[in-house]
Amino acid sequence: MSLTGSFKPGGKHGLSSKESRDPIGIAVAALNRVAQSDLIDRLRLRKTTEAVVYNATKSGFKAATTASRTFSKKGKRGQAGVRVKPASSSGLFDLNPTEDEQMLVQVVGEFAEEAVRPLASEANEACAAPDDLLKASLEIGLPILGVPEDLGGISEERSAMAGTLVAEALAKGDMGLAVALLAPGAVATAISLWGTDEQQQTYLPEFTGDSVPSAALALNEPSVLFNVLTPATKATRTEDGFVLNGVKSLVPRGGDAELFVIGAELEGQPVLFLVESSAAGLKVEGDPAMGVRAAGLSKVYMRDVKVDAGAVLGATDGTTYRECVRLSRLAWCALAIGTGQAVLDYVTPYVNERQAFGEPISHRQSVAFMVANIAIELQSMRLVTYRAAARAAQGKDFSREVALARQLCTQRGMQIGLDGVQLLGGHGFVKEHPVERWYRDLRALGVMEGGVLV
Amino acid sequence: MINLETPKKHKAFIEQAHQVAMNMLRPISRKYDLAEHEYPKELDMLAAMVDGLESSGASEGAGATGVRVDKPTEEGNKNGSNLASVLSVAEMCWGDVGLTLTMPRQGLGNSAIASVATDEQLERFKGTWASMAITEPAFGSDSAAVSTTAILDGDHYVLNGEKIFVTCGERSDSVVVWATLDKSLGRAAIKSFVVFKDTPGLKVERLEEKLGIRASDTAVITFTDCRVPKENLLGSPDIDVKQGFAGAMATFDNTRPLVAAMAVGCARASLDLTRDLLHQAGVDVDYDAPANTQSAAAARFIQLEADWEAAKLLTMQAAWMADNKLPNSLEASMAKAKAGRAASDVTLSCVELCTGVGYAETELLEKWARDSKILDIFEGTQQIQQLIVARRVLGLTSAELK
C-alpha cells in the first residue's frame, strides 16, 4: 500500500475524487489521521473488548438484529391467500372521508398530538422510537389497518385511502416516529395484499396477536441515482429456494426487526422476498441520516442469505414489486402532507406574534405570501395524493397519479420545509423549534423508497 | 367517500364539449388569433347549439350561468352545475381560450347576473349576452377604487365614467357595470348595474390590441349621463356599511374557479401536444422510474404535469364546495393562484421543450403561451389571490395585511 495512494482524496469526508492534495495537504491529513486513531489507545494497551452491538445513532457496527422469533410455518404453500375487495365508488366527486375513516383520523390525530409530538425531539436524538409509544400504537390498531378482517385485521375492503389519511395524521405529530410506528404495518399490509395462504397463516397471526413483531419493508439501496426498479441486491435460484446477496439502506427499525420484506433482482425482474432476521448471513448496522431519525434507520447486509422456495412475496414478473413501490410512495406523500401541515400550523401563530419594525411580521406581504404559498401547495399535494390513494383503493391503475403526487410532494414539500425555517429566521435554525427537524424530514421525499406502505 | 375522478354523470357531457372544442374551435383557432377584432361568425351556430343543450338539460346546468346557487334539493354529496361548468369550460379552453371567452351569451357578466340577480331579474335578463365592466383607467386590482358614479334620479340611475378591459365589450348586448352610489361611503356603496348596449350615453370607444386571447375583443366603454332603469341594479340598493364589499365580491368566489378552469384547459392543450411531440422525438415519460434517471425533458414534463394536476383538482374542489353550499372563498383563490401560475409555467415550458417547433406559428404552442398570461391576471391577479389566501390563513384584515 503506497502512502500517497491511501491519501488520495475522494469517497470520504464529502470530497469529490477530483480533489488533489499537495505535499503539505498530505502531511496535515496524515497528522490528523494519527491524532484520531485509536492506535494511540492500543499502544497504551487499552483493552478493546467492546462488544459489537447494534447502535442506531452510529454507522459501522454490524450486528445480528437484537430480536428474532421463530415463525413456525403454517398454511398451504402456493395456495392464494385471502384478499379484500376493492372499495366501490358512487362515481361522484367527493372530498368527504367515510365515517370509518373520519373516526380513524380523529383517533390517530389525537394520538399524534398528545403522544407523538411531545416525544419527537428526544426520539430524533436517540434515533429510536420509545417502547411505550410503540406499544400504544398497537392499541390503536396501526399494524393491522391493512390486514383483512377474515385474518384478524380491520380491513373490509382495500384500505389505501384510510392508510393515507392515517399516515398524514401521524406525521403531523412527527414523521420519524410515524415511520417507526407504520413500519410493521407496511409488512403486514404487503403480506395481506400479495401473500400466499402459507405466508398469511405463518406471519399474520403474529401481527394481529399481542406481541407484534417489528418488521420492515426494505427497498432502498446506498447508490447514487438509485433506481428502485433495478435493485443491485441479487436473488439466485437454488434447488430448494433462493440465495440473497446485497445491501439495503435506510431501513426503518432494522435493528429490532424480526421480519423483512426485501427487494431483490431475480432473473432480470425486481421481486419481493420475505426474510426472517434470524437468517444466517444477515447483519444490520445503524444508518442514521439527515432526518426521519426516530425511525431508527439501518442498513441490512445480506451475504449468501438462504431462504426457502416459499419466501417469494407475490409475482416474480415485477408486477407485485412495482405495485409495492407505488403504494410505498403513496405513504411517503401522505407523510409529507402531515409534516407540511405541521409546518403551516406552527408558522401561522409565529409570524402573527413575532414583531419587527413595530408590527407583526405577518403584516408584510413578503412574509404573508410565503405562508399563503405554503397553504396553496400543501392543499395541492393533498388533493393529488388523495386522488392517487382513492384510485388505489378502488383497484384502478394509479401509476400516473402517484408519480405526480410524489413529484409534487418532493418539490413543493421541500419548499414548505425550507420556508418553515426561513420564516423563523435564526430561531428556525436552532433546535428550540421543531421547524429544523421538519426541514430535515421533508428532504426524505424523493429519496426514500419502501419502509412504509398503504 | 373520497373520490377525485371526473363524475360519471358529467362524463358524456364533457366528452361532448371536448368534441366541440376539437372540431369547431381548433380549426379556427389560428385564424382569429391572426385576425384580431374580426367577429368569429362560426360561433353563432355553436352558441345556438349550447342554448339548445341548456334548455334540454343535457348540459347539466354548465356554462356561464352554472354558478347560480340553487335551493338545496338533495341531501348528501352533490355534484352540480358548478362542477359541470368548470369541467366543460376547461374542455372548451383546451380548444381555444379566446374563442371560449367570446362565446355568445356565455360572458362573465352572465356569471355575475347568475350569481347575484333576483329571480325576477334573472327572468328579465334571460338570453342577454352580458360582459363585465369593473376596471377603470386609474385602477386595476383595487376594485374598491371605483369612480364611475351612479346617481338616482327618479326611476333611473345616471351613470358617468370610463371602463376599460371589458371582455366582449363590443360584441355583447349588455354590460354589468360596477359604479358607486356615493364615493364617500367607500366599498359598501359600490353596486353593479345591467346596462343594455343601446342605452343612450353608452359608447364603445375602441378595442385593445393584445398579447393573447386575440379572438376575444377587449373594449373601452364610456358612460355619459347614461340612464339605467333602477330595477337593473343587481342585489340590494341599500348601502350596508357592515356588509361592505362582500356582496359585490361574492361574484368572484363563483367566477374565479371558472378562470382557473380556463387555465387548466389551456395548459392541458400544451401538455397533450408536447407529450405527443416528445414521443415522436423518442422521449416517453416513465411514471414508475425516478424522474432523475430519465431524460431532462421527461423529468421536466412530469413536474409540469404534477403542477397541472394540482391546479385541476384545486379547481374541482372549489366548484364542488360551491355545489355543496360550502363557503369557498379561500379555495377559489387557491385554485386561481395555482392554476394561473401553473398555466404560465406549463405553456412557456412546453414552448421551450419543443424548441423551434414550439416557438413557430406553424404549431399552436406559442399561441397558448401567449393566451395563458391573461389567466394569471384577470378576475384577480396572482398577487391578489395570494393576498386573499394569506389574510384567510393568518386571520388578518385588509387593514392589517395591506
Domain ranges of chain B: 8-124, 130-234, 246-394
Give A-chain residues touching B76 at CB under 8 angstroms.
none
Q: Answer whether A217's CB lies under 8 Å from A450's CB.
A: yes
Q: What is the pLDDT of residue A69?
A: 83
**Residue B74 contacts A where some CB pair is shorter than 8 Å:** no
Report the CATH architecture of B8-124: Orthogonal Bundle (1.10)
Q: What is the pLDDT of residue B56?
A: 73
Buried b (16+ CB within 10 A) or exposed e, B157-191: bbbbbbbbbbbbbbbbbbbbbbbbbeeeeebbbbb
Catalytic residue flag (residue B75): no
Q: Answer whether A254's CB lies under 8 Å from A183's CB.
A: no
Q: What is the pLDDT of residue A139?
A: 87
The answer to whether B290 contacts A404, with C-beta atoms less than 8 Å apart, is no
Q: What is the pLDDT of residue A1?
A: 45
**Residue B290 contacts A where some CB pair is shorter than 8 Å:** yes
Give A-chain residues touching B400 at CB under 8 angstroms.
360, 362-363
Separation in Å, CA A396 to CA A158, A230, A270, A392, B287: 11, 25, 22, 6, 15
3-state helix, strand, coil in chain A (%, to 5): 50, 15, 35
Q: What is the pLDDT of residue A8?
A: 75
Confidence check: pLDDT of B71 > 80: no
Q: Answer whether B323's CB lies under 8 Å from A92's CB.
A: no
Poorest-pLDDT segment among A35-39, A447-451, B47-51, B258-262:
A35-39
The length of chain B in residues reads 402
C-alpha cell at B107: 360572458
**Residue B76 contacts A where some CB pair is shorter than 8 Å:** no
Quote the pTM value: 0.94
Average pLDDT on B209-235 reads 96
Q: What is the pLDDT of residue A48?
A: 44
AA identity, residue B97: V
d(CA B113, CA B107): 10
- Does domain B246-394 fall under CATH 1.20.140.10? My reply is yes
Q: What is the pLDDT of residue B247?
A: 59
Q: Identify the bridge partners of residue B192 per DSSP, sorted by sequence position.
A: B178, B234
What is the average pLDDT value for chain A, to the nearest integer? 92
| ipTM at complex level | 0.94
Confidence check: pLDDT of B383 > 80: yes
C-alpha cell at A140: 390503536
Confidence check: pLDDT of B267 > 90: yes
Give A-chain residues touching B317 at CB under 8 angstroms.
95, 379, 383
Confidence check: pLDDT of A181 > 80: yes
Poorest-pLDDT segment among A116-125, A408-417, B94-103, B236-245:
B236-245
The answer to whether B389 contacts A399, with C-beta atoms less than 8 Å apart, is no
Cα nearest neighbour of A324 on chain B:
B288
C-alpha cell at B58: 343535457
Instruction: Give the rounded percent of residues in chain B with a pLDDT score beyond 70.
Output: 97
The residue among A379 and B52 whose pLDDT is bigger is A379
Average pLDDT on A359-372 reads 98
Q: What is the pLDDT of residue A37?
A: 60
Average pLDDT on A152-179 reads 96
Considering only the beta carbons, identify the residue of B9, B291, B390 that sits closest to A369: B390
Confidence check: pLDDT of B39 > 90: yes
Give A-chain residues touching B334 at CB under 8 angstroms.
375-376, 379
Domains and CATH numbers, chain A: 3-43 (no CATH), 322-442 (1.20.140.10)
Q: Answer whether B86's CB lies under 8 Å from B316's CB.
A: yes
The answer to whether B1 contacts A400, with C-beta atoms less than 8 Å apart, is no
Confidence check: pLDDT of B156 > 90: yes
Q: Answer whether B29's CB lies under 8 Å from B95's CB.
A: yes
**A438: DSSP letter:** H
Cα nearest neighbour of A325 on chain B:
B288
Query: For B303-357, what is each residue's pLDDT tens digit?
Result: 999 999 999 999 999 999 999 999 999 999 999 999 999 999 999 999 999 999 9
Considering only the beta carbons, identify the residue of A362, A369, A403 that sits closest to B302: A403
Give A-chain residues touching B292 at CB under 8 angstroms.
225
The answer to whether B290 contacts A348, with C-beta atoms less than 8 Å apart, is no
Average pLDDT on B290-300 reads 97
* Non-local CB neighbours of B55 within 8 Å, separated by 6+ positions: none
The answer to whether B4 contacts A97, with C-beta atoms less than 8 Å apart, is no
The answer to whether A94 contacts B401, with C-beta atoms less than 8 Å apart, is no
Separation in Å, CA A443 to CA A58, A340, B162: 20, 12, 53
Vertex A109 angle, CA A157 and B315, to 5°: 70
Query: For A2-28, what is each residue's pLDDT tens digit?
Result: 555 566 777 788 888 888 888 777 777
Cα nearest neighbour of A102 on chain B:
B1
d(CA A229, CA A225): 12
d(CA B254, CA A196): 53
- DSSP string over B164-211: EEEETTTT-SEEEEEEES-GGGGGGGEEEEEEETTSTTEEEEEE---S
Helix (H) or strand (E) holding A134: helix A131-139
| Stretch 331-370 of chain B: residues touching chain A, C-beta under 8 Å | 331, 334, 337-338
What is the average pLDDT value for chain B, to the nearest integer? 93
Query: For B230-259, what is each residue's pLDDT tens digit?
Result: 999 998 888 887 665 665 677 788 889 999
Closest Cα of chain A to B256: distance in Å?
15
Give B-chain residues touching A404 at CB under 8 angstroms.
287, 302, 305-306, 309
Considering only the beta carbons, identify the residue of A322, A375, A390 that sits closest to B389: A375
Give A-chain residues touching B315 at CB under 8 angstroms.
none
Closest Cα of chain B to A124: distance in Å?
28
pLDDT band of A271, cuts 50, 70, 90? very high
C-alpha cell at A304: 449468501
d(CA B386, CA B289): 34
* Non-local CB neighbours of A348 within 8 Å, separated by 6+ positions: A371, B393, B394
Query: For A402-421, what is each residue's pLDDT tens digit?
Result: 999 999 999 999 999 999 99
The answer to whether A93 contacts B320, with C-beta atoms less than 8 Å apart, is yes
**A299: DSSP letter:** E
d(CA B51, CA A185): 55
pLDDT band of A39, cuts 50, 70, 90? low
Separation in Å, CA B389 to CA A339, A344, A377, B316, B385: 20, 13, 12, 17, 6
- Does domain B130-234 fall under CATH 2.70.98.20? My reply is no
AA identity, residue A337: I
Q: Answer whether A296's CB lies under 8 Å from A252's CB.
A: yes
Which among B208, B361, B379, B400 is annotated as catalytic? B379
Query: For A54-109, what is each residue's pLDDT tens digit?
Result: 778 877 767 777 777 889 999 998 899 999 999 988 899 999 999 999 999 999 99
The answer to whether A408 contacts B310, with C-beta atoms less than 8 Å apart, is yes
The answer to whether B77 contacts A92, with C-beta atoms less than 8 Å apart, is yes
A and B: number of Cβ contacts within 8 A: 175
* Non-local CB neighbours of A380 within 8 Å, separated by 6+ positions: A408, A412, B307, B310, B311, B313, B314, B338
Burial class (CB in 10 A: 0-12, 13-18, 19+), B139: middle
Give A-chain residues touching B295 at CB under 8 angstroms.
none
Considering only the beta carbons, identify the residue of A94, A381, A407 that sits closest to B1: A94
Closest Cα of chain B to A390: distance in Å?
6
d(CA A321, CA A74): 24
Q: What is the pLDDT of residue B353?
A: 98
Instruction: Give the rounded percent of residues in chain A with a pLDDT score beyond 70.
Output: 93
Separation in Å, CA B148 to CA A84, B70, B329: 65, 32, 26
- DSSP string over A15-77: --TT----HHHHHHHHHHHHHH-THHHHHTT----------TT-SS--B--S--------S-T
The answer to whether A96 contacts B303, with C-beta atoms less than 8 Å apart, is no
Give B-chain residues touching A386 at CB under 8 angstroms.
2, 4
Separation in Å, CA A265 to CA A218, A242, A328, B289: 13, 11, 18, 16
The answer to whether B288 contacts A390, with C-beta atoms less than 8 Å apart, is no
Q: Answer whether B193's CB lies under 8 Å from B267's CB.
A: no
Residue of A166, A333, A383 to mutate, interface with B, max B Cβ within 10 Å:
A383
Considering only the beta carbons, identify the residue of A94, A368, A384 that sits closest to B3: A94
**Residue B292 contacts A where some CB pair is shorter than 8 Å:** yes
Confidence check: pLDDT of A273 > 70: yes
The answer to whether B337 contacts A372, with C-beta atoms less than 8 Å apart, is yes
**Residue B382 contacts A where some CB pair is shorter than 8 Å:** no
* Non-local CB neighbours of B388 within 8 Å, separated by 6+ positions: B329, B330, B333, B380
Closest by CA to A294, choosing from A119, A453, A66, is A119
* Ramachandran sector of residue A318 (left: φ over 0; alpha: ψ -120 to 50; beta: rest): left
